[in-house]
Amino acid sequence: MSKDNKNYINNIDDLIDSAANEAVSELFDNIDKSIDDSDISFSENHTVAIDNILKISNVEKPHKAHIGINKKILLIAAVISIIVATAFSVDAVRNKFGEYFVNTHQHNTDLNLDEEITPDNYSLLKNKYKPDLGYIPQGFHLDFTDSSGANYIVQYIKDDKCFSVCKSKMPDFHSIDTEDPNAERIDINGFDGFFSIQNDINILTWTIDDIMYTVESNLDKETIVKIAENLK
Amino acid sequence: MLFFTPDADRSKRIEIIYNKYCKFMYKVAYDILKEKYYAEDAVQQSFIRIINNLDKIGDIESQKTRNFIGLITRNISIDIYNSRKKQSDAIGDDITENPDNDLSAIIIKKETVANLKKYINELKPIYYIPLVMKAQGYSVNEIADTLGINSKTVQKRIERARAVLYKKMREDI
């Protein structure tokens, strides 16, 4: 069909539509004009029937647009369910999904007994546990520091000598081998301390309130005690 | 919650429509059925159809609404009439499945236009109502929904109605 012919048909169809509109309006205009109110009276049966129709119509009809939307939602939900069910039937997908929640490669579960560390209290805890050394033997310099929030370690070094000081939250359970023949009780500024030697490393541990202090070093006992006594 | 839309105005709107158009509907029906009992029956059936198609009614006072209500009533009245007596004198039965839509032979003359309304009024109701509703701006789906028939049937009937009119216009030349 040529473009001209198409346009021509459209013109004819427009003409038909226009004539159809006029025809129906004329038809109903004539009927409207011919209505004489005194002419028309409905029977009692008709009035009852209309009343019943009105009563039934008061029951809300589901809105078609919403039915359409709900059908779409149900259809989408069904499609998603099928996709998920199909994906989960594959072992590899199921395992991958599970790894988001559980680390399947880890053989044990870490339990954090420390104070709960959050981004908000991290700085606060770090300052609380940071050891303030009042005495550092001559020639030693800071080797490294490490902090996880509820504990703080500093290590000083000089040639082959070193010492580390750890200040941390007192663990719920902490045991000291009092039967160790190399161990002895030492008073640190009025607090009970415990000195021991393990693998040629001298270890001094004491607690003040809920904080545990540890000094480990290959330095002699007197130097370690001096470091401990000057710790704030 | 999702399945029902509260519409406090709905029943009020239905009552207004009925009170405004009940006599008009009766008159449309009576002109076809010529009997009070059947005319009232047609009004009741039409009213139910109107309630079911309330979403297609905009301004209650408009001519489009009146024509929509009139066409529904007319369609139902004709159905009632046909169920009582087979109507055989309307045109439209002579249409083939593949009507000749070649309009090149049609020359639009003043008389052709004048006659067009007459030909439309003479159309068989099954063609007349879909054609007029389409001209009133309703989509094929809306017409199908209103008349309770398949949308493909509506499309076919509109095409056939136009084919009858094309043929009549060619004969006018």
Measure the CA–CA gap between A9 and B113, rounded to whole angstroms: 15
What is the pLDDT at residue B99? 46
Domain extents in chain B: 8-86, 88-173
The DSSP output letter for A138 is: T
The pLDDT tens digits of the residues spanning A87-125 come to 888 777 777 777 777 665 555 444 444 455 566 666 666
| Residue pair B125/B94 in contact by the 8 Å Cβ criterion | no
> In tens digits, what is the pLDDT along chain B, a chain of 173 residues?
344 444 557 888 898 999 999 999 999 999 888 888 899 999 999 999 999 888 888 899 999 999 999 999 999 998 888 887 754 455 444 444 444 445 555 555 556 667 888 889 889 888 999 999 999 889 999 999 888 889 999 999 999 999 988 888 877 66
Length of chain B: 173
Q: Chunked in runs of 10, what are the mean pLDDT values of chain A (232 residues)?
A: 62 84 87 77 88 76 61 87 84 76 56 53 69 89 82 89 88 64 82 86 87 91 91 81
What is the pLDDT at residue A168? 86
ipTM here: 0.76
Measure the CA–CA gap between A43 and B38, rounded to whole angstroms: 12
The residue whose two tokens read 């059936």 is B45
The DSSP output letter for B122 is: H
Whether B5 sits inside 8 A of A60 (CB atoms) is yes
What would be the CATH architecture of the domain defined by A122-229? 2-Layer Sandwich (3.30)
What is the pLDDT at residue A163? 93
CA dist A221 → A156, A163, A196, A224, B99 (Å)? 16, 12, 10, 5, 116
The helix/strand/coil state of A141 is strand
Q: Report the CATH number of the B88-173 domain.
A: 1.10.10.10
- The separation between CA B124 and the C-alpha centre of its own chain, rounded to angstroms, equals 11
Measure the CA–CA gap between A196 and A183, rounded to whole angstroms: 4
Q: Which of A10, A110, A24 is nearest to B74 (CA)?
A: A24
Measure the CA–CA gap between A229 and B164, rounded to whole angstroms: 115
Domain B8-86, CATH number (from 1.10.10, 1.10.1740, 1.10.8, 2.60.40): 1.10.1740
Whether A15 sits inside 8 A of B24 (CB atoms) is no
Q: Which helix (H) or strand (E) holds A56?
A: helix A44-57
Q: Give the nearest chain A residue to B31 (CA atoms).
A: A31
Instruction: Cite the DSSP H helix spans in A35-169.
Output: 44-57, 64-88, 91-99, 122-129
- Optimal mutation site among A28, A56, A76, interface B, most CBs of chain B within 10 A: A28
